[in-house]
A and B are shown apart, each in its own frame.
Chain A
């Protein structure tokens, strides 16, 4: 009796019991749910399994990056959605960061009105649901742009109207691919040359004509390559016929509206992160750097930003993940992202809710967990440094 009690009182044994109980509970719950689900589905006569992915989709998508057509299967439709989600997320993150930094720095400006406007913007944006931004931009964008017949032409090759921005598309990408290779090669060459030049300078003190080489390799050669490729390629230039411009590639207003909403909304949050990050660097640091004779620009780039970045990185990464998740708001305005296409159209045509929801969540989890894992690793590293 006493022995058994002391056995329970042993902390390690107790810990094991807790853990086994937790696992048993989870496994039990999972089995319970799965059994119910399969029973309910059999009873209701709902089909299951992933076979539906290879059925013809028949769904027309207005914004396709992958070469999908409506006679392809539902799995291809899934990838169209994933690609569209990724596109708006990546561009959204870049633009939101830029706008967020501008507003964050404006918030710290010594000019009172600038700072006040930035502050008002931040307070406005942070306290309104994103859905309002999405709807506002969508109907705002459509209302602001002219009908197809009154399109705004850009150099006679691209056209902007309330059906979107129609841009020329190359008939074949062979030449463009070569041009891209040339551009990449000349940039790499410049990098190698500049490393070599610095080493030589450290050794012999001799300067190399880096500026001339740089202009040549970074600007001139790529420009020539692109010019050659564009001229050698036949372009499908959009022409107004009937209701709208035909040919080319159309950037739809839903994309523009969703992007604008994500950028203006997220920028409000990034601005606060930037402000917090810069303010977190003690004033003494700036003063000390100044006393050492550093110019203001160098103080910012060598002393303030690196330290501020350490504070800013984790919340910034969170915001980037939010952009990814918030891109699903596109479903409200018919932007064909993975939620709208797959969880909307495909789910309705097949009715296979469990499979489709699982796949959709997996998309976000795979991308998100990769970034999140990176962030935790970074977090742990910072924690080591400070202790």
Chain B
């Protein structure tokens, strides 16, 4: 009974009038035209098992290539016997984030601060070594691990800076406001590809001779500054959404600027701007692909580098499809989460 009614509902939706019926047919042909060859190539005609290029059937995808290179796509050239460190760091970050998200309300802030203080140095120690762990240089890092590392650490720079400049932009002090506006508009105005280039070329030049900064650190700093400007705008949205009375009331209660900001304004503003900040984080993940202009091999960079292997020529489609799918999954999941936060926030407000 139920099934029949849902069936008729679908018929109504897709073939209700001659026009919608026509539209449905056109669209269906369009989908088939794109999807059928894609599915044939990626699934039906594809080769899954084997060890070399010769094992692959022509005409279909050669997923053998991905299997052979899977370790590199994930970890770059990170030594195989040390990869557990990357896994451990990833698990710790995941657990840390989840514990903050699911912690009871009253513990959440304290837990969040603790994680922010503990996890980043712990992650760097695990990944790069020292203190009884083997030292592994950043040039051996790569693949998905590097993409996530850059995204996370750049946002660790970007979020505090962004909050600071968002507050600065709303400040009553004219000079502070001017500095903040210039900072934000400068970094928002320039293309990221140029910033990464700038960071990698200029940072060593403007520091006193002899101080070297790691190549990867330079890219992270450059990206961090750009994203800080975008984060600042996201936070400003939250600040502007708060009624002016909030700060006035806090000041009337005798709270100083920083107390009022830290206890009253920011917690509310950040909750409002969290979806927008998540969207900036997604943009950041996508923009990490640009580090390949300074020969840092993130996921896309490793995919491209693997194409130069004479033993595996002609694997462009496989490499791009696989790495693209990973980017898509991560970004899609995050954007769903951001949308979930948004509806949650709207429901709380009403």
Q: Measuring CB to CB, which residues of chain A are less than 8 angstroms from any residue of chain B?
A: 15, 18-19, 22-23, 26, 33-34, 36-37, 39-41, 43, 111-114, 117, 123-124, 126-132, 135-136, 139, 321, 325-329, 331, 339, 343, 353-354, 357, 360-361, 364-365, 368-369, 372
Contact = CB atoms under 8 A, between A and B. Distances in A.
Most chain A CB within 10 A, of B176, B189, B290, is at B189
A113 B27 contact: yes
Contacts of A36: 205-209
Interface in B151-195: 172-176, 179, 185-186, 188-194
Contact of A368 (B13, B189, B300, B320): B189
Given A40-B209, A136-B320, 17 more contacts: A18-B176, A23-B179, A36-B205, A37-B202, A114-B23, A124-B328, A127-B331, A128-B324, A128-B327, A328-B194, A339-B194, A357-B194, A364-B190, A364-B191, A365-B190, A368-B188, A368-B190
A361 B189 CA distance: 8
30 contacts: A19-B176, A22-B175, A22-B179, A23-B179, A33-B206, A36-B208, A37-B205, A40-B209, A113-B27, A114-B27, A117-B27, A123-B332, A128-B324, A128-B328, A130-B286, A131-B289, A131-B300, A132-B300, A136-B320, A328-B194, A329-B193, A331-B293, A339-B194, A353-B202, A354-B202, A357-B194, A357-B198, A357-B202, A361-B198, A364-B194
Contacts, number: 130
Contact of A325 (B176, B192, B204): B192
Interface residues of B, number: 50
B188 A372 contact: yes
A117 B14 CA distance: 13
A327 B192 CA distance: 11
A124 B31 CA distance: 14
B153 to A, nearest CB: 18
Given A22-B175, A339-B194, A353-B201, A112 B316 contact: no
Nearest to A30: B206
A178 B208 CA distance: 61
B189 A369 contact: yes
B313 interface: no
A41 B290 contact: no
Given A114-B27, A339-B194, A372 B209 contact: no
Contacts of A127: 282, 286, 327-328, 331-332, 335
Contacts of A22: 175-176, 179
Most chain B CB within 10 A, of A33, A128, A135, A339, is at A128
Contacts of A113: 14, 23-24, 27-28
Contacts of B206: 33-34, 36-37, 40
A249 to B, nearest CB: 27
A269 to B, nearest CB: 10
A132 B193 contact: no
B197 interface: yes
A367 to B, nearest CB: 8
A117 B208 CA distance: 56
Contacts of A325: 189-192
Interface of B: 13-14, 20, 23-24, 27-28, 30-31, 172-176, 179, 185-186, 188-194, 197-198, 201-202, 204-209, 282, 285-287, 289-290, 293, 300, 316, 320, 324, 327-328, 331-332, 335
B77 to A, nearest CB: 21
A123 B208 CA distance: 47
Contact of B335 (A43, A126, A132): A126
Contacts of A33: 206
A114 B31 CA distance: 11
Given A127-B328, A328-B194, A357-B201, A18 B300 contact: no
Contact of A131 (B204, B208, B290): B290
A354 B201 CA distance: 8
A344 B178 CA distance: 33
Nearest to B329: A127
B194 A43 contact: no
A128 B286 contact: yes
A360 B201 CA distance: 14
A126 B283 CA distance: 9
Nearest to B288: A129
B13 A19 contact: no
Contact of A372 (B20, B30, B189, B316): B189
A129 B303 CA distance: 14
Contacts of B282: 127
Given A19-B175, A129-B289, A331 B193 contact: yes
A292 B194 CA distance: 54
Contact of A353 (B189, B205, B285, B290): B205
Contact of B179 (A26, A41, A123, A326): A26
Contact of B173 (A19, A112, A117): A19
Contacts of B320: 132, 135-136
A339 B193 contact: yes
Contacts of B173: 15, 18-19
A321 B229 CA distance: 14
Contacts of B324: 128, 132
A112 B13 contact: yes
A31 B156 CA distance: 27
Contacts of A117: 27, 30-31
Contacts of B174: 19
A328 B289 CA distance: 13
A33 B91 CA distance: 40
Nearest to B201: A353
B24 to A, nearest CB: 5
Contacts of B31: 117
A129 B198 contact: no
Contacts of B190: 325, 361, 364-365, 368
A372 B332 CA distance: 29
Contacts of A139: 316
A114 B286 CA distance: 28
Contacts of A128: 286, 324, 327-328, 331
Nearest to A365: B189
A321 B191 CA distance: 10
